[in-house]
Amino acid sequence: MGRCRREGEMERIMEEGGIDGRGERREGGEWTIQDPASQRLTWYKPPLSVLVIKKVRDAQVIQPFIQLVRWLTIDKRMVVFVEASVMEDSLVTSHPGFPVLRDKLMNFREAHDDLTDKIDFIICLGGDGTLLYASSLFQQSVPPVMAFHLGSLGFLTPFKFDNFQDQVTNVLEGHAALTLRSRLRCIIIRKDQETGKNGRPPTNLLVLNEVVIDRGPSPYLSNIDLYLDGKRITSVQGDGLIVSTPTGSTAYAVAAGASMIHPSVPAIMLTPICPHSLSFRPIVVPAGVELKIAVSKDSRNTAWVSFDGRKRQELFHGDSLRVTTSIYPVPSICAEDQIADWFASLDECLRWNDRKRQKHFDEPEDLSPTDLTPDLTHSSSSDTLDSLAERNEACDN
């Protein structure tokens, strides 16, 4: 199978290439900042297998899915893996182009089949949820992910499907930039595991966006103790806490008031959810720290934790959640490059800094006598609101 230079070998590559953990490169005895756009996809061998993940319960994705799979299996002669549920989906099986593809596809079931070392790269068809799901399938090294925007949200899916053949061919030939999206290693240690009375291994999961600790169905405030590298930092009193990666900073965290951080920045974000104190603002800590989160001893209730919106479970008194930055990031393939893709997503998905521009001053010599006479029959504020309404209506259409 094809192999690319990805996270499983990051430490060796960084050491050999003179790159330290801060993303800096040593040249001629001096440290220089590495250009994020310099991270490129490199195949050691031609890729032979691909995992295709499509958005569920969306009829509009079926035709692109059939087109892509047919092209990969017949034209490119690649081994294509899909979920077993896709082979059983009536929308897929009833498509006239599917019968000739059925016997050419490999299938797997989540939590039953191990995809490690079987997949060379991943193609996602849908929204951001497809990439999050792809990340969850690989709890160690992740193959490069190419995400096509066919869903309702497209912050992590930079590719358009119109000319997918040319774009996938470019990737197969190694003509692509990469964004290494850090993930968080989350370990739940139960009270009896802490004391050694329970022989079961602790829950151990990787998340791409965030891990959320909240008060669940309880009407009481959550009361959560937060430790950083073994030192108690504060107690979170409110609806909960979001611990997110830079990739997750534009998801739940930004809705809770956090800043947006470029995915190449090595950091962990801590964002309170509706804190009981107005002075409790979101903070950013170094990526190398270890966080410990536990229900306070005097808390009136337990807490609940979820990982990228999944696998929700309860944290009881005496339990703890340990969070660190994983050594296994998600290599996300860029449509253009790290910088251009991120700002395009900010503009398209969040309409970042989209506003009506302030008028410049007119030079007196450029004005006619009628321009100098104020027209009191028109309201400039009404004109502004009308123009904004027209512009929003045009964007929505």
Catalytic residues: 128
Q: Residue 66: enclosing H or E segment and its boundaries?
A: helix 62-70
Residue type, 106: M
Burial of 203 (0-12, 13-18, 19+ CB in 10 A): middle
Q: Residue 202: enclosing H or E segment and its boundaries?
A: none
**Measured CA distances, 37 to 5, 137, 141 (Å):** 16, 27, 22
- If phi > 0 it is left, if psi is from -120 to 50 it is alpha, else beta; for residue 126 that is left
Residue type, 380: S
Cβ contacts of 28 within 8 Å, gap of 6 or more: none
Residue 371 is given by DSSP the state: T
- What is the length of the chain? 397
Question: How far is the first Cα of the chain from the last one, in angstroms, to the nearest whole number?
Answer: 45
DSSP assignment of 203-268 equals EEEEESSEEEEE-TT-SSPEEEEEEETTEEEEEEEESEEEEE-TGGGGTHHHHTTPPP--TTS-EE
Phi first, then psi: give them for residue 119, nearest 5 degrees. Answer: -115, 130
Using the structure block, give the residue that is written with the tokens 């319960």: 57
User: Which of these, 231, 224, 202, lies nearest to 293 by C-alpha position?
Assistant: 224
Do 143 and 166 meet the contact criterion of CB atoms below 8 Å apart? no
Burial of 212 (0-12, 13-18, 19+ CB in 10 A): buried
Return d(Cα 226, Cα 323) in angstroms, integer: 11
